[in-house]
Amino acid sequence: MKLFKKTKDNIFHSISKKHFGSDNLEKTLEDWLEANPHLLGNDILLIGRQVRTDHGIIDLLALDSKGNIVVIELKRGRAPREVVGQLNSYLTIAASWPESELIRNANFIPYSRKTNNLIKKFEEHFKCSDVPEFNSRQIGVVVAEEFESDFVPQIGGLRFECHVLQFSNFVDQAGEEYLFINTLHDSDTEGDLEKNGDDKPKETEHPQVPEEIRTRFYKLADAVHDLVKNEFCTDSDGWRVHKSTSFVQAVFSCWKTGYEGISLYYEPETGKQYLATNCLPKHNRILSARLKENKEEIEAALGKDIRWEISDWESLYEYISDDPVEIAERIKAYVRTLKPYLDKALPQKSSTKSFEDPKTEKISRENLILPILRVLVEHKGKVSRKQIKEELHKRFTRIFEQPWYKRESGQFQHKWQHEIEWANTNATKERLLKIASRGVLEITDKGQKYYEENK
């Protein structure tokens, strides 16, 4: 790209492009964006910088006016394709944060036990009194000087809303600096980070999975879980169902990161289910190398119908029927065969005595939904999150007073509170609940019907 400066005599002088990466540190770019967040598009509130997670450091963390989390990844030179997996990891981790964890990671906002300074700062910045629910959606932004050729197609495949911005730094003869920012990818459908100008946002690039298919898959995943849970996972650990309008997935994982392991997917393009290993790119490279070294042994155990796909996320996979018994047997075979390799490739979950105690009686998040709906019905359809927790603790005191449930899970929150929050989130995604106002949930017509049919 070339940039010219016009004089009063209508003469255009070329302005030299400056290679930012050779003369500046990444910190310089962080400083620029911290002081001028409007460079990223519409107004956002920066709440954190160099935020540490289990999978690396988030350069900048922000909120938009709708309370959505914005994760910003910066590269002073060329952004390699590995950044796609890195950004996906950060967004996945951010999606799991309850509000207490978000407050902890907002290192720009002074913490106070008495006052929620994040809400106060949000109200001041966006000049509003009705603060939305935080973290209902997660948005990724990558800013770099250059990108590898397949970077944009890969980031377009993520399930999160993402934006790719390319910047160029120019300097004229007087030493004045100029910054040009070009949008290479914009998957915005609802958020605030819109393209400058009057262009309408693009339609979402991800195929939408019809609700009836998602409902059928979730029932299938539950049936499979019932068949495998007594062998290698408990009611609430090891088997997770990820729910989204654009993809459906159930994953078995006994490792530190709950979305890495052996996954059951529904593929909208073919209408089929398939099993696959599913790991972050940096872990998948280790796993793929070890699996290839033992290909004959693995095929002897799993059969020659498995397909080898050495991609960023998956090492091998196979299409499978929708028979839960068959799926359960194949998952057991995958676990028996592949767990030794996954153990070496994936970080291990830190364990505690209470976590491993087989005597712990547990209630799944799915089984918490009906009691939550009951609380709402008893309070005329609308109640605060705090009151839901208090009511459920009264009803499940014996269970929630066990050591496993009383351990801390996130800042100032016990495990039982964390499990209820996840049940609230899942019920909201299923449209059984909706957010009435900040910290208050309301039962929907669908939720009322579900309660009447299952109470």
Q: Tell whether the model's pLDDT for residue 246 goes beyond 80.
A: no
Going by their DSSP bridges, the two strands 272-278 and 177-186 should be labelled as unpaired
Range of the domain at 306: 211-345
The whole-number pLDDT of residue 199 equals: 41
Do 51 and 171 lie in a common domain? yes
Do 68 and 115 lie in a common domain? yes
Residue 203 confidence class, pLDDT cut points 50, 70, 90: very low
Q: Is residue 9 part of a domain?
A: yes
Do 313 and 369 lie in a common domain? no
Do 290 and 433 lie in a common domain? no
Q: Tell whether the model's pLDDT for residue 114 goes beyond 60.
A: no
Q: Is residue 331 part of a domain?
A: yes
State pLDDT tens for residues 159-187.
788 999 988 888 777 888 887 888 888 76
CA distances to 262, 275, 301, 315, 326 from 337, rounded to whole Å, are 11, 14, 7, 14, 17
Q: How far apart are CA 301 and CA 446, in angstroms?
A: 45
Q: Distance from CA of residue 203 to its chain's centroid?
A: 20
Q: Tell whether the model's pLDDT for residue 229 goes beyond 60.
A: yes
Q: Is residue 403 part of a domain?
A: yes
Higher pLDDT, 443 or 114: 443
The whole-number pLDDT of residue 367 equals: 87
The whole-number pLDDT of residue 359 equals: 58
The whole-number pLDDT of residue 101 equals: 81
Q: Which residue type does 38 have?
A: H
Q: What is the CATH number of the domain that holds 311?
A: 3.30.1460.10
Q: For residues 415-447, b (16+ Cβ closer than 10 Å) or e, as one string? A: bbbbbbbbbbbbbbebebbeeeeeeebebbeeb
Do 243 and 323 lie in a common domain? yes
Residue 375 confidence class, pLDDT cut points 50, 70, 90: very high
The whole-number pLDDT of residue 195 equals: 44
Do 44 and 106 lie in a common domain? yes
Phi, psi (degrees; rounded to nearest 5) at 207: -65, 135
Lowest average pLDDT, out of 35-44, 196-205, 256-265, 376-385, goes to 196-205
Do 99 and 124 lie in a common domain? yes
Q: Tell whether the model's pLDDT for residue 205 goes beyond 80.
A: no
Q: Is residue 206 part of a domain?
A: no
Q: Is residue 370 part of a domain?
A: yes
- Domain total of the chain: 3
Element at 46 (helix H, strand E):
strand 45-53
Do 241 and 128 lie in a common domain? no
The whole-number pLDDT of residue 273 equals: 85
Helix (H, G, I), strand (E, B) or coil at 315: coil
Q: Tell whether the model's pLDDT for residue 357 goes beyond 60.
A: no
The whole-number pLDDT of residue 388 equals: 93
Calculate the CA dihedral of residues 190, 192, 193, 197 and round it to 10 degrees. Answer: 100
State pLDDT tens for residues 48-95.
988 888 778 899 999 999 999 999 999 878 888 788 888 988 998 888
Q: Tell whether the model's pLDDT for residue 204 goes beyond 80.
A: no
Q: Is residue 229 part of a domain?
A: yes
Q: What is the CATH number of the domain that holds 410?
A: 1.10.10.10
Q: Is residue 202 part of a domain?
A: no
Higher pLDDT, 250 or 301: 301
Phi, psi (degrees; rounded to nearest 5) at 342: -65, -35
Average pLDDT over residues 87-113: 80
The whole-number pLDDT of residue 61 equals: 94
Q: What is the CATH number of the domain that holds 65?
A: 3.40.1350.10
Q: Tell whether the model's pLDDT for residue 42 goes beyond 80.
A: no
Do 369 and 420 lie in a common domain? yes
Higher pLDDT, 97 or 114: 97
State pLDDT tens for residues 409-426.
544 478 888 889 888 888
Lowest average pLDDT, out of 233-237, 370-374, 424-428, goes to 233-237
| Strand partners of residue 375 | none
Which of 315, 345, 375 is the last residue before a domain boundary? 345
Which of 311, 345, 379 is the last residue before a domain boundary? 345
Do 316 and 382 lie in a common domain? no
Q: Is residue 434 part of a domain?
A: yes
* Residue 380 tokens, joined: 């005329």
Do 131 and 217 lie in a common domain? no
Q: How far apart are CA 415 and CA 15, in angstroms?
A: 58
Q: Which of 225-239, 274-288, 375-389 has the highest mean pLDDT?
A: 375-389
Which of 324, 345, 366 is the last residue before a domain boundary? 345
Do 174 and 42 lie in a common domain? yes
Q: Tell whether the model's pLDDT for residue 113 goes beyond 80.
A: no
Lowest average pLDDT, out of 111-115, 353-357, 367-371, goes to 353-357
CA angle 34, 123, 74 (to 5 degrees): 20
CA distances to 8, 391, 434, 449 from 443, rounded to whole Å, are 65, 16, 6, 10
